[in-house]
Amino acid sequence: MAFCTNCGKELVDGAKFCAFCGTANEKSNTKREIVFEGKVHKCPSCGEVLDAFVATCPVCGHELRDASNSEAVHVFASRLVSAKTVREKAEIIRNFPIPNTKEDILEFMILASTNIDNKLEPDLYSAWQVKTEQAYQKAQIVFQKESELSRIQNIYEKVSAKLAKQKKQDKVKKAGNILAELMPVLPNVIIVTGWLISIFVLLPLCRVNLDSVGTNGYQIILMLDFIAGAIFIPFAFKANSSLPKIIAALGLILSILVLIPLCGENLDDVGTNAFQIILMVDIVCSVIILIRMLKRQGNVEKTKGLLNGVVVLIAFAFVAIMLIAYGISSVVTAITVTNETAEKEQEHHQAISVKYEWPITGLSQYLPLPPTQYGEIQTDNETRFNIDVYQVTPADFDLYAKACEEKGFTINTTKTDQVFYAYHEEKYEISIFYYEDEETLKIYLDAPEQMSDIKWPTIGLAQKLPVPDVLVGRIWHDSSEQFGVDLAEVTQEVFDRYIDACMEKGFTVDYRRSASYFNAYNKEGEELTLSLQIFDVMEVSIKATKKE
């Protein structure tokens, strides 16, 4: 039972004010709570606040053991191991939330992309694709800078290419399985009917120029052979019921697959190669059918009659003429194709055998010599050096990555079996990509961004922000849709003060704040993102309200 502290009257349970004198109940809680999100990572040696991807303290040089380990990845892995069924694992992969930190996004991107394998269960295969897409979409939001997003972008492009290749392979495999299942049970009557349809319906639909068809003997032979096949097939089935269905079906399938795409085309413009291929297979089918017709079957009496003998003799002569006609041309075609293939292989060999001359000045002096002497220098200027190195093995890639570390690229290091990223203490950035199927190593070295005194804009989105204390940097985007700038010499204290100033400017809606990151909206719906990067660089980005 509660009583009013002013008049002493008894209060009704749950009442916030006295019904007699109006005094507020002292138990009412009107205080606002402040909740801090995320964790502040500090050096265990000197206490310096650490940025993302840092493996060594930039102040005292203390090596951070287990700095790359992600707590979220460990939780995800433990849940995945505890799942008992494939469906449970797929649900965990799809629905496990990816944290907003850059380390976690990159860890999940690498984890998901390396687990995509079409040998997995379909549900798991699809779930890892979804997780890769989730990591990429989140990276596009969190990674504001193009150089940072390129890491995720390269992994995503490789995954997309791999999925496209696997998709094509799956289609071919699926089509082959369906064909293998249908062939043994395909009724004879359907084969004969389909073959006749392909001749009397599909072939007339092809708009053949009869005035010039005589110039291409393959067209005449092909049409005549189809007609002969249609006449002989019923007799073949009658004389020998054990004729393999696959032989007759093969001719049917090829005739449909080739003739349908050619409908509406002038066959004289298509070329002879397609006709040579289908003619060869069709002749083989006809020969097998003819042999089956002439073969004795148990007590079946020998075919009698002069008419039957003449028909068989004419058919045999016809097939022999076609074989001779095709044989001569096929040999010429085979030689031509072989020569063209050899020329292409020689051109490829010459391309990857080109030797480069390593520059002795410029950005290349910061790099170790590539593992092979074959390659091409694509770019060599004051801001970027790029070379494609050929005939590189996976072992060469590993050794070169270690050589780069020995050259001083040890800050914010990221390494997999295909990529290597790192910074030099002089702010040079290296990006290496290895393509094992092409045996090619692509090396990019970017010079530090040039910072200079800037003038803060007085119009546009920039005027919505407080003017920074330090105006040394580089404006990388300024339009009605977005304003972006990199500011140098920004310490942690300066970064915190600028966040406070932005919040005073109204950027307090749905805000997220950490030691090196801030994101919020104002009442107009404009989005502000601040991030404290490596080498005391603050990235500022403000985007206009999205148009519906």
The mean pLDDT value for 100-122 works out to 78
Residue 46 forms part of a structural domain: no
The yes-or-no verdict on residue 202 having pLDDT over 50 is no
The confidence score (pLDDT) of residue 528 equals 95
Q: Which of 154, 180, 206 is the last residue of a domain?
A: 180
**478 against 143, higher pLDDT:** 478
Residue 522 forms part of a structural domain: yes
Q: What is the number of structural domains in the chain?
A: 5
The yes-or-no verdict on residue 334 having pLDDT over 80 is no
223 & 321 share domain: yes
Distance CA 141, CA 131 (A): 16
The yes-or-no verdict on residue 480 having pLDDT over 50 is yes
Entry pTM: 0.40
- Determine which of 48-57, 411-420, 460-469 has the lowest per-residue pLDDT on average: 48-57
The mean pLDDT value for 347-355 works out to 76
The confidence score (pLDDT) of residue 428 equals 93
The yes-or-no verdict on residue 423 having pLDDT over 70 is yes
Percent of the chain with pLDDT over 70: 59
405 & 482 share domain: no
Widest pairwise Cα distance in the chain? 133
Distance CA 262, CA 267 (A): 7
The mean pLDDT value for 461-466 works out to 93
Q: How confident is the model at residue 263 (pLDDT cuts 50, 70, 90)?
A: very low
Q: Which of 158, 180, 202 is the last residue of a domain?
A: 180
Distance CA 506, CA 513 (A): 15
- Hey, which residues does 506 pair with through a beta bridge? none
The confidence score (pLDDT) of residue 494 equals 93
Closest CA to 437 of 161, 172, 152: 161
The confidence score (pLDDT) of residue 18 equals 79
Distance CA 62, CA 58 (A): 8
Give the helix, strand, coil percentages of the chain, each rounded to 5: 50, 15, 35
The confidence score (pLDDT) of residue 74 equals 81
The yes-or-no verdict on residue 445 having pLDDT over 70 is yes
The yes-or-no verdict on residue 541 having pLDDT over 90 is yes
428 & 303 share domain: no
The confidence score (pLDDT) of residue 115 equals 81
Give yes or no for a contact between 364 and 346, defined as CB atoms under 8 angstroms apart: no
- Determine which of 14-23, 194-203, 422-431, 471-480 has the lowest per-residue pLDDT on average: 194-203
**218 against 387, higher pLDDT:** 387
Question: In whole numbers, what is the pLDDT of the chain averaged over residues?
Answer: 74
Token pair, residue 21, equals: 């004198």
The confidence score (pLDDT) of residue 268 equals 46
SS3 label, residue 124? helix
**260 against 441, higher pLDDT:** 441
Which of the 8 DSSP states describes residue 64? -
The yes-or-no verdict on residue 522 having pLDDT over 90 is yes
423 & 472 share domain: no
The confidence score (pLDDT) of residue 307 equals 46
Check which CATH number belongs to the domain holding 496 and give it: 3.30.310
The mean pLDDT value for 26-38 works out to 55
191 & 311 share domain: yes
272 & 394 share domain: no
Compute how many other C-beta atoms are within 10 angstroms of the C-beta atom of residue 545.
12
Token pair, residue 372, equals: 């092979």
Give yes or no for a contact between 164 and 205, defined as CB atoms under 8 angstroms apart: no
Which of the 8 DSSP states describes residue 66? T
**Non-local CB neighbours of 319 within 8 Å, separated by 6+ positions:** 283, 286, 287, 290
Residue 219 forms part of a structural domain: yes
The confidence score (pLDDT) of residue 389 equals 94
The confidence score (pLDDT) of residue 54 equals 52
The confidence score (pLDDT) of residue 359 equals 92
pLDDT digits (tens, 9 = 90+) for 264-288: 444 444 444 455 555 555 555 555 5
Q: How confident is the model at residue 487 (pLDDT cuts 50, 70, 90)?
A: very high
Residue 252 forms part of a structural domain: yes
The yes-or-no verdict on residue 181 having pLDDT over 80 is no
458 & 535 share domain: yes
126 & 228 share domain: no
- Determine which of 137-141, 165-169, 208-212, 423-427 has the lowest per-residue pLDDT on average: 208-212
Q: Which helix (H) or strand (E) holds 107?
A: helix 102-114
- Determine which of 96-100, 342-346, 447-451 has the lowest per-residue pLDDT on average: 342-346
Give yes or no for a contact between 218 and 279, defined as CB atoms under 8 angstroms apart: yes
Amino acid type, 533: Q
The confidence score (pLDDT) of residue 503 equals 95
Distance CA 323, CA 170 (A): 36
Residue the block writes with tokens 């009917």: 193
Compute how many other C-beta atoms are within 10 angstroms of the C-beta atom of residue 122.
10
- Burial, 112: exposed, middle or buried (Cβ in 10 Å; 0-12, 13-18, 19+)? buried
The confidence score (pLDDT) of residue 504 equals 94
Sign (positive or negative) of CA dihedral 80, 85, 89, 91: negative
Instruction: Tell me how far the alpha carbon of residue 160 is from its chain's centroid.
Output: 1
The yes-or-no verdict on residue 491 having pLDDT over 70 is yes
Give yes or no for a contact between 538 and 486, defined as CB atoms under 8 angstroms apart: yes
**Range of 421's domain?**
363-446
Distance CA 422, CA 429 (A): 6
- Burial, 538: exposed, middle or buried (Cβ in 10 Å; 0-12, 13-18, 19+)? buried
- Determine which of 152-161, 317-326, 426-435, 502-511 has the lowest per-residue pLDDT on average: 317-326
2-11, 102-111, 468-477: which has the highest mean pLDDT?
A: 468-477
The confidence score (pLDDT) of residue 301 equals 45
Residue 83 forms part of a structural domain: yes
Distance CA 37, CA 199 (A): 74
188-197 vs 217-239: helix axis angle to the nearest 10?
Answer: 160
**121 against 484, higher pLDDT:** 484
432 & 457 share domain: no
Residue 295 forms part of a structural domain: yes
469 & 414 share domain: no
Q: How confident is the model at residue 205 (pLDDT cuts 50, 70, 90)?
A: very low
Cα first-last separation, the chain: 55
Closest CA to 526 of 503, 514, 511, 542: 542
457 & 406 share domain: no
Give yes or no for a contact between 516 and 494, defined as CB atoms under 8 angstroms apart: no
The confidence score (pLDDT) of residue 109 equals 81
Residue 63 forms part of a structural domain: no
Distance CA 96, CA 86 (A): 15
236 & 161 share domain: no
Q: How confident is the model at residue 297 (pLDDT cuts 50, 70, 90)?
A: very low
Distance CA 14, CA 428 (A): 65
Give yes or no for a contact between 519 and 512, defined as CB atoms under 8 angstroms apart: yes
Distance CA 337, CA 162 (A): 30
The mean pLDDT value for 51-60 works out to 60
Residue 43 forms part of a structural domain: no
- Burial, 311: exposed, middle or buried (Cβ in 10 Å; 0-12, 13-18, 19+)? middle
Closest CA to 541 of 452, 494, 479: 479
The yes-or-no verdict on residue 351 having pLDDT over 50 is yes
Distance CA 390, CA 373 (A): 8
Q: Which of 145, 165, 180 is the last residue of a domain?
A: 180
The confidence score (pLDDT) of residue 483 equals 95
The confidence score (pLDDT) of residue 290 equals 53
The confidence score (pLDDT) of residue 90 equals 86
